[in-house]
Structure 1
Amino acid sequence: MMILRVFFSLLIVLTLVSCDFSAKRIGFSFMKTEIDTLINYTKVDELPVFPECKNLIDTDKKNRCFINHLYNHFADSLLKHTFGVSGYVDETVIVRIKIDARGNASLDGIQSSDLIKRDIPKLDSIINESIATLPIFFPAIKTAIPVSTVFELPIVVKLK
């Protein structure tokens, strides 16, 4: 009886060792692997890109190019107009711009103070016209798929 116990114990040990040996030899592992399936829906892998910025390789340069072109577009558009105000205006207007998965830009909303709404009532229509004249973008990318994004663009309005 004792011999059978020793024999089966030795057989079990050899079986476990031989499985471990063959796994190491073939490069096979029984270790648990984890796959990252969590997706952060609040961030994109790549921001939308103006056609002029598409060939930049560095992501930071590409993003700065996008932001600079966007600000320059709005500055050029707003500087074409003259605004008559009753006093000094130093306010920030938040413009929400949606860029869809096809690269088309549209106005998603404007957040401005009562002073801006009262003294510069046509500002909303000027901003809307400016967005309508934006070129078609290369859309934002999330896990290799074009996606819609919304940007908040602060515009500082200083008038005397």
Structure 2
Amino acid sequence: MKYYLLILFLVFNSCNYFDKQIPSEKELLQKELNAIDWNEVDEYPSFVDCNKMETKLERQHCFFEYLATLIQEKIRMDSLATLYPELDTIAVKVTVYPSSKMKFEPQFPKDSVAYDVMQIDSILHARLIDFPKVSPAIKRGIPVKTQFILPVIIKAEP
């Protein structure tokens, strides 16, 4: 009789071990969304030459250095330095789309009247074409759009 009571006691108490709450779909989704860092990508955009680097930080540094050098070489051929001698650096907003397309937008202070913003903008758009293929940034295995401001030196000191 004692054994039957013991077995009944174990059967009724063991049911509590299997009666665990399963989280809802919304809770799981919210937990996963909160775990994602939306301001950081898993892999930065990259040029073919930068893919050879071993670490993420090296590839990122390579990409920004290579891009800045390419932009400087392309606009060095133009007359920006002679038209605007006081202008030594331009901030360029670079957008890399998931389709590998790149877009360049010069960023100027709101109150800039020292130089013709439209003229500089048109010169940059005319020169900043025909870039090597860029691999877009990757977030959780999916290509994503990234934007960043890149300072571009127009005239180097001799």
TM-score normalised per structure 1: 0.68
- The alignment-based identity, stated in percent, is 23
Q: Is the Cα contact below 8 Å between 1:94 and 1:112 reproduced in 2? A: yes
115, 122, 141: which is aligned to 1:117? 115
Residue 32 (structure 2) pairs with residue 37 (structure 1): yes
1:132 equivalent in structure 2: 129
**Distance apart, 1:92 and its partner CA:** 4.5
Aligned CA distance change for structure 1 residues 84 and 63 (closer, same or farther; 3 Å): same
1:46 equivalent in structure 2: 43
Return the alpha-carbon distance in structure 2 between the equivalents of residues 159 and 124 of structure 1: 20
Residue 116 (structure 2) pairs with residue 103 (structure 1): no
Aligned CA distance change for structure 1 residues 56 and 146 (closer, same or farther; 3 Å): same
Q: 148-157 vs 57-66, which deviates more?
A: 148-157
TM-score normalised per structure 2: 0.69
Superposed CA offset, 1:18-41 (max 9, x none): 986xx9xxxxxx697895511343
Return the alpha-carbon distance in structure 2 between the equivalents of residues 154 and 13 of structure 1: 74
Query: What is the number of equivalent residue pairs in this alignment?
Result: 145
What are structure 2's unaligned runs of at least 5 residues? Answer: none
2:149 equivalent in structure 1: 152
Residue 91 (structure 2) pairs with residue 94 (structure 1): yes
What are structure 1's unaligned runs of at least 5 residues? Answer: 24-29
Please give the secondary structure, in 1, of the residue aligned with 2:122: helix
Q: 135-144 vs 39-48, which deviates more?
A: 39-48
Return the alpha-carbon distance in structure 2 between the equivalents of residues 91 and 13 of structure 1: 84
Q: 34-43 vs 52-61, which deviates more?
A: 34-43
Return the alpha-carbon distance in structure 1 between the equivalents of residues 82 and 128 of structure 2: 23
2:10 equivalent in structure 1: 14
Residue 65 (structure 2) pairs with residue 68 (structure 1): yes
Please give the secondary structure, in 1, of the residue aligned with 2:103: strand
Superposed CA offset, 1:106-140 (max 9, x none): 12x3221424533x764322322343222220111
Return the alpha-carbon distance in structure 1 between the equivalents of residues 151 and 9 of structure 2: 70
Q: Is the Cα contact below 8 Å between 2:44 and 2:137 reproduced in 1? A: yes
RMSD: 3.7
